[in-house]
Structure formats: C-alpha cells, structure tokens
Amino acid sequence: MTNLPHAFGGPPLRGVLRSTPEDFFVDEDLGFAPDGAGEHVFVRVEKRGSNTDWVGRELAHRAGIPVHAVSHAGLKDRYAVARQTFSLHLPGKADPDWTALAHAEFRVIESARHNRKLQRGALKGNFFRIVVRGIEGERESADKIVEEIRAHGVPNYFGEQRFGRESANLGKARAMFAGRRVQRHERSLLLSAARSHLFNAVLAARVERGEWNTPLDGDVFMLAGSHSIFGPEPLTPKLLARHVAGDIAPTGPMWGAGELRTRDAVAELEHSVARQFPELAAGLVANGLRQARRSLVLRPSELTIRWLPDAGAELSFNLSSGSYATVLLREIFDYRSAN
C-alpha cells in the first residue's frame, strides 16, 4: 500500500493508529433484520481484541454445534472493537442462554431467529469511528482533503489486509501458480490476493494519470449501491451528470478468463498492466476465475473529522461492503499502527 499513489497529493498528517482497540470501532450493517422465525439464530456480538473465527468457535461450543454450522458475513479487524452478526444453525434446538456466556473478549448484544443462514458478503456496509493519536502536520490541509473526499471519494484500493503481513500472500500465490500445493481454504485467500494486486495496479495507473474518478471512452460503469454494470457507451451529458452525482462510477478489472468488457484506451491500459504480471494473470485464468468488475471509486457517507485534545483526531464514516477504511485513512494520515 505504501507504493500506491495518492489521489490528493499525499497525507498532510502523521499519527498512530490502534493505540487501543477502542480507537478502531466498526459496526456492521446487514441492511436487513432477522424475521423472528426459522432454523437459524442470528447472534449479534461486540468483540474486543479478538478475531472473528475464534468468536465463531466459541459460539459453536456454547451452542453445542459444529463450527461449520456457524457463519458470518465477513471478517472484522482483530485489533478493534467490532460489532457483527453470526448465524448458528439450530434446527429443532432451543436458543442457548447467552447471558451465561461470559468472555472478556466479546459479549452477546442480542439474538433473533431467521429463516436463512447468513452468507459471506451479505451485508450493506460498515460504520467506522477511528481515532488517530500523536498527530503532527497541517490540520488545515487535512480539512481540505476531507472536503475533497466528501465530494469525490477515494481510490477504491484493496487494503493491506488482503495481502497478508508484508504482502506474503502474493509470494504464496506465485508459488501456488508455479505448482506448489496448498490447502483448500488457503487457495481462495491466495487467489483473492493475486486478483486484488492486479486491480490495485490498474487503479494506481489511473490515479497517476488523474483519471481514477474520470469517465473515459471505453469505460464500464457500476451502479452505486449494487454490483450491476453497464457499458461501454457514449459519454453523453446525462451519463457524465450521473457520474458527478455519484450514481455511477468507472470500474477496473477483477482478472480472470474471458474478454475484457472495456474498449479502446481503457482496455489497452488494463491489458498492459496484466502483461506486467503475466504469472498472476495466467494463474487466475488457469484456476477458473472469470472476468469481473469492481468500482474504481469509494464514496464514504457521513464523513466527519473531529479534532481531539492532546493531538488526536476522530473520523466517522460509513463504507459499503467490500471496501477498506484504511484506504480512506491513508489519504489523510501517514499512520503507523500500534498493533
């Protein structure tokens, strides 16, 4: 992530992230409520300093069910305070007494029945409240960048979590593509890292050209709030107005087999990036992935910054699912993590 270009000239502030878990708060929004009946129990928890899979195992143990009967919409940061929902498959069983479950690392907030299990990715988005401490730099410049982000969003990079510590997953992906055998659960992780790297490289090239949030001839667009895509089509005044309003955004490739949907200079740019990483592009195709698209633009909602005593700043914002809070933070802060 340190090598990816910034959209607004680079962060004007330096500071420390995750001084305590409470400094990184995330609240998951499924976008729907359980219907109150069914074989699945939706359990909403608040966890502190613990990872999602461990909490899932603890819930399974308490309910007396196998771990594979527990699901969640997505992983949440370990070094954080996070609220998220798990679903437990309990056909013909009574709801456990969650009040008897005492853990320093998490607590059950509420539970309710639902007729379907919670699927991976089945959430609307997340609310974040993040505190950065020990700030040095130009606050006035930071305020201006916050205004730019409100108006234009930020490049929708995949965050460092996607690639593992020191980007280790990319090296493992290359080894897998060269013939190294990996376990099934690791394979998916490595394919995602390789695909995300190619996307980030295309987006970085457009950021360097100042075109990451500019519709170009040959672009394919994504509708805001969905994964529906359309185009290419002529850049009419109506289309450009929809882009300015945030209704649509240009997209980049999630690499795989099949023809690129983009055309002209946009397609050439995407092909040229793939040629820079032939082993990743070929490996994704060989492993059966198909071409898909992802928005180049991440638009947070309700973004605010509040300056705190003792050189601190608190940011609050909502992000859609599949996006990363750290790619917003990096536009404002050159931060280091305390954990």
CATH number at residue 326: 3.30.780
What is the spatial distance between Cα 142 and Cα 120, in angstroms, rounded to a whole number?
Answer: 35
What value does the mean pLDDT take over residues 291-319? 96
Please say if the pLDDT value at position 2 is more than 80: no
Q: What number is the average pLDDT over the span 125-134?
A: 97
In a domain, 177, yes or no: yes
Query: Do 187 and 221 reside in the same domain of the chain?
Result: yes
Residue 2: inside a domain, yes or no?
no
Q: What distance in Å separates the CA atoms of residue 40 and residue 112, rounded to the nearest whole number?
A: 8
- Class of residue 142 by CB neighbours under 10 A (exposed 0-12, middle 13-18, buried 19+): buried
User: 263 and 312, same structural domain?
Assistant: no
Judge whether 270 and 180 are in contact, CB under 8 Å.
no
7 in any annotated domain: no
Statement to judge: residues 206 and 270 lie in one domain: yes
> pLDDT for 98-120, tens place per residue?
988 888 899 999 999 999 999 98
- Helix axis angle, 184-208 relative to 168-177, nearest 10°? 110
* SS3 at position 55: helix
pLDDT of residue 152: 96
Q: Residues 241-276: pLDDT tens digits?
A: 999 999 999 999 999 999 999 999 999 999 999 999
- 1-5, 28-32, 111-115, 323-327 — which is least confidently predicted? 1-5
The answer to whether residue 48 sits within a structural domain is: yes
Q: Is the predicted pLDDT of residue 287 greater than 80, yes or no?
A: yes
Q: Give the CATH number for residue 193.
A: 3.30.2340.10
pLDDT of residue 167: 77
Residues 45 and 84 in one domain: yes
| Residue 162 and residue 292 in one domain | yes
Residue, of 338 and 267, whose pLDDT is higher: 267
Number of domains in the chain: 3
- Mean per-residue pLDDT over the chain, rounded: 95
Residue 317 lies in a domain: yes
Is pLDDT above 90 for 1? no
Q: Is the pLDDT of residue 179 over 70?
A: yes
Q: What percent of the chain has pLDDT over 70?
A: 99
User: In b/e form, how buried is each residue of 187-225, taking b as 16+ CB within 10 angstroms?
Assistant: eebbbbbbbbbbbbbbbbbbbeeebbbebbebbbbbebe
Name the band, by pLDDT with cuts 50, 70 and 90, for residue 196.
Answer: very high
Kindly state the average pLDDT of the residues 125-151. 97
In a domain, 3, yes or no: no
Question: Does residue 235 surpass a pLDDT of 90?
Answer: yes
Residues 162 and 146 in one domain: no
Q: Are residues 162 and 270 in the same domain?
A: yes
Residue 338 has pLDDT above 90, yes or no: no
Are 74 and 201 contained in the same domain?
Answer: no
- Considering the domain architecture, whether residues 36 and 108 belong to the same structural domain is answered as yes
How many DSSP H helices and E strands does the chain contain? Answer: 8, 16
Residue 126 has pLDDT above 70, yes or no: yes
* Whether residue 197 is found in the same domain as residue 260: yes
Closest CA to 141 of 334, 336, 316, 339: 334
Residue 1 lies in a domain: no
pTM of the model as a whole = 0.93
Q: CA 286 to CA 284: how far, in whole Å?
A: 5
For residue 225, pLDDT beyond 90:
no
**57 and 143 both lie in a single domain:** no
At 86 the pLDDT is 97
Residue 27: inside a domain? no
Residues 161-179, mean pLDDT to the nearest whole number? 89
- Peptide linkage before 232 cis (omega within 30 of 0): yes
- Residue spans of beta strands (DSSP E) within the chain: 13-17, 24-29, 40-48, 70-72, 81-89, 106-114, 125-137, 154-155, 221-223, 229-230, 248-254, 292-295, 297-298, 301-308, 312-320, 333-337
CATH number at residue 63: 3.30.2350.20
Catalogue the active-site residues: 77
Reply yes or no on whether the pLDDT at 303 is more than 80: yes
Domain check: are 214 and 265 in the same one? yes
For residue 44, give its domain range.
32-114
